[in-house]
Structure 1
């Protein structure tokens, strides 16, 4: 068992806040983290709490909202993206005073019924997310991002989901050494699984390129963080030879934005591991039915994406052809399960550089992106002709997602962390690469799933209405508004920025509507007609999910105004 069940060293262990003493100081880290955490929680309050109660309004440059017994104001822009242009203030005895994160948490708790009535973990998760951002900012000050621009973009999401109450909440011990935002790199651990105990589905043969297993054994890579978490449970199988420890891989793997998925350079593949720790909403692990579904969906989606690529040149996806684990009971089957995924370099094509959409949505000094490379070229192209760049972006991303739903009965999940944008040498969007089959579902009633185990079939489907809500939330609420806001801010950087940005945003949304109307021409689909008519959009209620401790799949939605409201053909 020696060398396998390893706890993090003492200086890396503990809660997110405990890493402070081992990370080089950055004077602004706490202030940056406070501002980011405050803005994320406040956006949730606008969308999910004050907005639905009619307690949000505007006054000049300010957005005002009432929450419990507090009146809050903040200068805002960005349209649906809700960018805050200065710190928020709270009305206190006739005077506007700075709003703190702790005070906002208390207002949220009071509005939602208090921790006794709801969630005694909530405050700790929000404050823990703030501590993670502070630690990451300090670490980024003394580390270097990957030279590969795609990997650098994967590691650029310092603040996380802009409409999540605890976007960087992270459980477990020693998390910083594995954090993509901290530019982590680390070798994987290799186990050998006795051949009669190998559990596998699809084609996981790429894993055999990681090394050489002894006779009678099959290679199984393990994330070192998960290895430490499973240490005690691996003792028996390692002692009796069901598993053997084969040491570390030769080259370090690079974690991508989801934390548990890494790029493994020896095989040129991405590997999605289990991590039995909570990251944002969920404990991240590969449940047995998700392992089975990944290979099953890859097979079913191959002809779907072939058709989409013909109809919409530039459409690509990252197949998940196989998975591997060990048949040592459900806990270890899931804990050791690894899904093989293609890398974006395998599908982007010559002359095209893939970058994470989420990184394009938030370029700036803290991301380390934007000055050089294809992202720099993209920003220059935006400044030269924002409408043309935006039209190309919408054309790459939106029509294939809608076509997958309507023609093929497939629910893609095109949020900012699940889409890679291929940029040409001039920075123009020429590819949209979709990934992560955990979020991809089939529309119930459109596919024959009778041969699948019942739980696999149930967790692989959405009913048509819920599937549509998921598609439109990811596309029209999570994704396009953030890109549009960044395009407008980038193109209107100057003295007249606020007014010019608002005007350009309206123009960009008119362009987006015209591109979607062109796709919709000739189709008689009520849902598409309602979208173009400006019907309210479904926004995922992340604050409610965290407050009620619901499963992410069961998240509710709140209606938000469409950027197409009031537009005509």
Structure 2
């Protein structure tokens, strides 16, 4: 394997992602980004940089970025951009921005307290580690067979990760590549048995019981082998190791897997940091998944009467061991194949953002926005439900001709209920708090996930370097949303969106520099393509 051939794409992808972060979170908010066609110019730590771009807010690069030195343009490297970024971040007074998690007494839209940040001595190493992980993924991927299932192939297509994250492939742990979806991993689950009196569970767990037999007085508990190796739980009469179980295929989130033999998805805890967060099923998220499954069913059914393309993946139950409630908690999730109509193939939206080339981009986009965006807006306005419709939480059902005809929403961890619009009496206070957003925070999350993270990337892929087509796509989206606004009675958030209010973009670079939890990430404003 040619190491240089692998290393070059990893370096280029890392440089591109960090440069996008600098435009959005460092130079842009300070007014230090200027269009100079065919380039975008920016100043970072006093150094003038330039890059050819297309795709509007998606900032797709058309060549290597450069820096001005001694009156001439020189190639920019990851190490140089890291150094410049660190210099500017150390001087920024506000690394929090508008927090995604305001305190409970904050007024809607009120600025949260600034993060108390010291220089991050780990940042350069984290960027380098993410770049090295991309190189390792490319090498492993070249030797592996992709899944025959087109949906699973799309789940495993995200080699370079989040385009606006400084460390998009950050992974803790020595064995991560063995379980990496991008490397076309597949592995047997580990089956445990939990004694009945040491069990915690709720909801419909038929799918778990079908994975295999359990000893008398015990219930079956599947475990991710990576998590089991990290936890090393005490085994005995309360928790029995039954050995290998059915084959599992990891999806794009790493910790959620699909079990083909059982036709079910399982969401596990993983005590490792993936991108920003240690991915673990908190105890209140276990209960919240079952609660939301019950609450959302009639609401989504009502919205589906107006938007028949909408589908979702319920999470009907969870099971865990009392001694490892969070560490061994597993959430059952429906398979997307059960949600799609016959003849419709689910594909991860993030994979479509990498490669979508329909014969008629405008017609395809119109169908896409109608299927994906309109029900999300409807659920917020009509029912106070916040869907995190970002690229990894949405599957798009394609018909035999490749047209988007259904939208399948998943992952109830990110679903929130707008405060004051739902009766949460009777829930544990921690569960109720985890399920709730205030209206301003909920709408900001809807807009970021749906428009900034999702639709800008799909539009950029469809339009390519054709700026006029890109504008036509956004005009079509605006027409659809304007018609929906009229049908919904011109709600204020939607009126502001259509009037051109800036869009909130999540500040991944700033929160990583601050070494803060992902829930502390704030937003920075970017231009609204619907204006």
Shorter-chain TM-score range = over 0.9
Residues 443, 467 of structure 1: 8 Å contact kept: yes
In structure 2, how many angstroms separate the alpha carbons of the residues matched to 1:342 and 1:294? Answer: 12
Counterpart of 1:120 in structure 2 is: 121
Structure 1 counterpart of 2:352, from 336, 350, 360: 360
1:99 maps to which of 73, 76, 93: 76
* 2:527 aligned with 1:526: no
Deviations 1:491-547 (A, max 9, x none): xxxxxxx4xx11110111111111111111241211111111111111111111111
- Contact 1:186 1:253 survives alignment (8 Å): yes
Tell me, in whole angstroms, the C-alpha distance in 1 between the residues paired with 2:217 and 2:231.
24
Residue 66 (structure 1) aligned to one of 25, 30, 43: 43
Question: Corresponding residue for 1:314?
Answer: 309
Instruction: Identify the residue that residue 351 of structure 1 maps to in structure 2.
Output: 343
Name the structure 1 match of 2:300: 305
Instruction: Identify the residue that residue 10 of structure 2 maps to in structure 1.
Output: 33
Retained in 2: the 8 A contact 1:26–1:137? Answer: no
- Find the counterpart in structure 1 of residue 244 from structure 2: 248
Question: 1: CA distance between counterparts of 2:122 and 2:295?
Answer: 40
Aligned to 2:136: 135
Q: For 1:481 and 1:112, locate their aligned partners in 2 and report how far apart those are by CA, in whole Å.
A: 26
* 1:71, distance to aligned residue in structure 2 (A): 1.1
Distance in 2 of aligned mates of 1:422 and 1:358: 13
Distance 1:457 1:352 in 2: 36
Contact (CA 8 Å) 1:421, 1:431: kept in 2 or not?
Answer: yes
SS at match of 2:266: strand
Q: Secondary structure of 2:29's match? A: coil
Higher relative CO (CA 8 A, sep ≥ 6), structure 1 or 2?
A: 2
| Distance (Å, rounded) in 2 between the aligned partners of 1:27 and 1:150 | 31
2:510 aligns with one of 544, 547, 551? 544
| Residue aligned with 1:113, SS | helix
Pair 1:225 & 2:226 matched: yes
- TM-score for both structures, normalised by structure 2: 0.94
Q: Distance in 2 between the 1:276 and 1:25 partners?
A: 33
Q: Residues of 2 paired with 1:524 and 1:113: CA distance? A: 43
Q: Post-superposition shift, 1:564? A: 1.8
| Cα distance in 2 between the residues matched to 1:219 and 1:362 | 39
Alpha-carbon distance between aligned partners in 2 of 1:402 and 1:554, rounded to the nearest angstrom: 24
Q: Describe the SS at the equivalent of 1:73.
A: strand
Determine if the alignment matches structure 1 residue 514 to structure 2 residue 510.
no
Query: Which residue does the alignment assign to 1:477?
Result: 452
85-94 or 466-475, which moves further after superposition?
85-94
* 8 A Cα contact 1:209 1:266, kept in partner: no
User: Does the 8 Å CA contact 2:48/2:68 hold for their aligned counterparts?
Assistant: yes
Aligned partner of 1:375 in structure 2 is: none
Tell me if the contact between 2:354 and 2:461 (Cα under 8 Å) persists in the aligned partners. Answer: yes
Distance in 1 of aligned mates of 2:127 and 2:205 = 38
More displaced stretch, 252-261 vs 449-458: 449-458
Residue 503 (structure 1) aligns with: 468
Of 5, 10, 20, the residue aligned with 1:43 is: 20
SS in 1 for 2:213: coil
Offset of residue 555 of structure 1: 1.7
Which of 236, 259, 264 pairs up with 2:259? 264
Single out whichever of 524-533 and 32-41 deviates more from structure 2.
524-533
Q: Does the CA-based 8 Å contact 1:25-1:138 persist in structure 2?
A: no
Separation of aligned partners in 1, 2:267 and 2:118: 37
Q: Distance in 1 between matches of 2:162 and 2:238?
A: 41
- Partners of 1:470 and 1:124 lie apart in 2 by 30
Moved more, 106-115 or 180-189: 106-115
Alpha-carbon displacement from aligned partner over 1:249-301 (angstroms, at most 9, x marks no partner) = 1x310000000000012221000000000001100000111111111111111
Distance apart, 1:25 and its partner CA: 4.5
Deviating beyond 4 angstroms after TM superposition, the runs of 4 or more aligned structure 1 residues are: none
CA shift, 1:319, in A, is: 0.3
Q: Does residue 1:409 correspond to 2:405, yes or no?
A: no
Q: 1:524 to 1:60 in 2, by over 3 A?
A: closer
**Number of aligned positions between the proteins:** 506
Report the counterpart of residue 333 of structure 1 in structure 2.
325
Question: More deviation in 518-527 or 306-315?
Answer: 518-527
Secondary structure at the residue paired with 1:335?
coil
Of 518-527 and 415-424, deviating more is 518-527
Structure 2: gaps of 5 or more residues: 93-116
Output the TM-score relative to the length of structure 1: 0.87
Is the aligned partner of 1:158 residue 2:159? yes
Equivalent-residue separation in structure 2 for 1:400 and 1:60 (angstroms)? 37
